[in-house]
Structure 1
Amino acid sequence: MSTRRSTLEQVAARAKVSRGTVSRVVNGSARVNPRTRESVLRAIDELGYVPDRAARTLAARRTGVVALVLSEEPGRPFEQPYFGDILRGINSATGAAGIQLMLSFTRSPADRARLAHDLRTQRVDGVMVISLLRQDPLPGLLAGSGVPTVLGGRPLDPAMERGAYVDADNTGGARRATEHLIGQDRRRIATIAGLRGTTVGMDRLAGYRQALAGGPEPVSYGDFSAAGGAAAMRELLEREPSLDAVFVASDNMAVGALRVLERHGRRVPDDVAVIGFEDAAFARHAEPALTTVHQPTGEMGRRMVEMLLSRAHDTSPPDQPVICDTGLVVRASA
């Protein structure tokens, strides 16, 4: 078996692009359209191309290491499919760029302050922060120390909303989902919203409310888990026994809602239509198959890496968020 390493030129030939385009993808440039980037990444995977990270790091005088920080208990994030999917996207992009990924968790203010100090002194090239469940001071601590930082999701702090972050069009996706239910002549459309005080929860609730345009808004809140969705569905049925549709702010919660509706003898979609959000892998295998809003989670992870590398390589990068499109995937539940 040959042990020769694949070259940049071979990747370019396989992807049918120029050597310069491959170089831009490998170096995380944002100046490559998504379809071309996907072709290059696929060629890299097929050929097993590995950039010479040591040479590139030496030339750039950088460490070749970036950090991904999740502000949660180590086990809890991976209860949500979102985290696994975005991590795969991040890992794919850092691998293609020949960069080492360091994963870290923080749980308390002391953890965050200590981590900010460690990241500064270890001289990582940049940090990505995924913190969807609370207002997190870590991005501000890192920004104040000059460490290039990119957030996964719109920040809660209004002062940072024009900064470097990657998010899905949560409001637009929720609005389209609710409009789909309205178009089916559903009259009592409830929602199971995400956690209060989180931007993803607030944005999806806002989209639902935009579609109803001032109509009745039966709302119950969950925590993005299946158990939380089940509890919220039980509460809604007690308060709104005549509801005939529910938009749920995550697929995990939607699965919990489906179980409760079945136990209460409500047929889906005949009696109650259900739409989730995320398009997790298990959604198509739910019973019935779950209509949901697709968000390109893997792509979001790759765009975070691209944005981070752009900031790390540029002394004055533009602070401009990236909002990825969402789209409705119609299946059997609505």
Structure 2
Amino acid sequence: MAQRATVYDVAERAGVSIATVSHTFRQPEKVRPETRELVLQAARALGYVPSGSARGLAKGRSQALGLYAFDMFLPSDLGAPDLDAMVARELDGLGDVRRFPLYVDEIQRGFELEAQRLGRPVMLGSGASRDSLGSFDLAGSVDGLAIFPGGAARDLLEHVGRGVPVVIFSSPPMHDPLHHITVANESAVRELVDHLVERHGRRSPAFLGEPAAPDIAARFAGFQAALAAHGLPVPEEPFDTTALAQDSLRSLRAAITAGDVPDALVCATDQLALTVMDLLARHGVRVPDDVAVTGFDGIVAGRLSNPTLTTVRQPFASMGRLAVRILTDTASGVSHPRSYVLPTRMVLGRSCGCP
């Protein structure tokens, strides 16, 4: 790759000073029109693109906002398929809605829309593990950073937060210097279980999901509280602490084999609920006749599934927009609460037994 053109190259080609080149792009009103045109012609000829980070040096800011995700890809998306097969599958639309858009994609859309409204560029990054250093590189290039934490360690996030304002998605209020945006996970699942018990008479609901993640732990706590309120047995652990992998749903598979499937399966996410319904269908277990299934998130795939999925909808775009406002305000010295807990809404589909 050819070496990138610099401000020095443009100045030499246009026969002007470096300051004139800088003013042409940063403060064009200070440059005579004929001189400005000379600089622009030189820049076009050289393929010169002014550096956003360099423009921000005078103010100590880049004006850019960052969005970073740890471990937020589905296992099935991380392979290296043959190009022809990949293109054919995408054009056929096979399974696309189950992979995109997910909640991460919808939050990103809200983030980008609000950033565009405020005239802020967005830089995206992702990491494969809790030890990824990519977030450090991105944090050094932006005025603020929003993060989907995934498996990232708390100390890593707090370290990044010492350099720039940081917003963590799907994270409950904590005693740390970071900003947190989450939803009312616990009360939302309580409402969901109330509906299953009171409207549909389900008496043995089971929770599926890995409570290591803070938002999933809050949903399981809501599940436990709802069962206790109805005088039903309260499990100490989820029925199936599963992941979206080939060997997942071991407890559910065993229950199917034994003919002892709970009468309602409360899944921690929509993606998990859709996988559960696929497994039940393959074994001839009918939803909702034999077992009710619910999710959490409100992704598009749940509205298109058969049966349609009863779930809890999160305000994804609003979460993304709010993150941008927190980051821009904080970088400008305007304070925000450390934590926001946004409301949710239960969305009834046929998977719970509703018409």
TM-score, normalising length: structure 1: 0.72
Contact conserved, 2:263 with 2:290, CA < 8 A, in 1?
yes
- 1:296 offset after TM fit, Å? 1.1
Contact conserved, 2:110 with 2:318, CA < 8 A, in 1?
yes
Cα distance, 1:255–1:332 mapped onto 2, change above 3 Å = same
Which residue of the partner structure matches residue 281 of structure 2? 262
Larger Rg: 2
Question: What SS is found at the alignment partner of 2:132?
Answer: helix
Contact conserved, 1:132 with 1:199, CA < 8 A, in 2?
no
1:219 and 2:207 are equivalent in the alignment: no
Cα distance, 1:227–1:84 mapped onto 2, change above 3 Å = farther
- 1:219 offset after TM fit, Å? 1.5
Q: Residue 189 of structure 1: which of 201, 205, 221 is its match?
A: 205
1: distance between equivalents of 2:304 and 2:248? 18
Q: Residue 290 of structure 2: which of 271, 282, 298 is its match?
A: 271
Q: Which amino acid aligns with 2:326?
A: M
Q: Residue 250 of structure 1: which of 247, 269, 278 is its match?
A: 269
- Over aligned residues, Cα RMSD in angstroms? 3.1
Contact conserved, 1:294 with 1:328, CA < 8 A, in 2?
yes
Which residue of the partner structure matches residue 347 of structure 2? 329
- 1:319 offset after TM fit, Å? 3.9
Question: What SS is found at the alignment partner of 1:159?
Answer: coil
Deviates more, 1:226-235 or 1:172-181: 226-235
Which residue of the partner structure matches residue 68 of structure 1? 67
Q: Which runs of 5+ in 1 are unaligned?
A: 1-52
1:119 and 2:119 are equivalent in the alignment: no
Which residue of the partner structure matches residue 103 of structure 2? 82
2: distance between equivalents of 1:104 and 1:240? 46
1:169 and 2:184 are equivalent in the alignment: yes
Contact conserved, 2:203 with 2:232, CA < 8 A, in 1?
no
1: distance between equivalents of 2:247 and 2:219? 16
Question: What SS is found at the alignment partner of 1:246?
Answer: strand
Contact conserved, 2:287 with 2:351, CA < 8 A, in 1?
yes
Could you give the per-residue CA deviations for residues 13-48 of structure 1, whole angstroms, max 9, x where no partner exists? xxxxxxxxxxxxxxxxxxxxxxxxxxxxxxxxxxxx
Question: What SS is found at the alignment partner of 1:172?
Answer: helix
1:94 and 2:115 are equivalent in the alignment: yes
- 1:98 offset after TM fit, Å? 0.9
Cα distance, 1:111–1:276 mapped onto 2, change above 3 Å = closer
2: distance between equivalents of 1:250 and 1:322? 21
Identity of aligned residues (%): 28
Q: Which amino acid aligns with 1:267?
A: R
Q: Which runs of 5+ in 2 are unaligned?
A: 1-51, 78-98
- 1:119 offset after TM fit, Å? 2.8
Contact conserved, 2:64 with 2:121, CA < 8 A, in 1?
yes
Which residue of the partner structure matches residue 18 of structure 1? none
- 1:76 offset after TM fit, Å? 5.6
Could you give the per-residue CA deviations for residues 123-142 of structure 1, whole angstroms, max 9, x where no partner exists? x2111111133434332112
What count of residue pairs does the alignment treat as equivalent?
A: 272
Contact conserved, 1:226 with 1:253, CA < 8 A, in 2?
no
TM-score, normalising length: structure 2: 0.68
Q: Which amino acid aligns with 1:215?
A: L
Which residue of the partner structure matches residue 306 of structure 1? 325
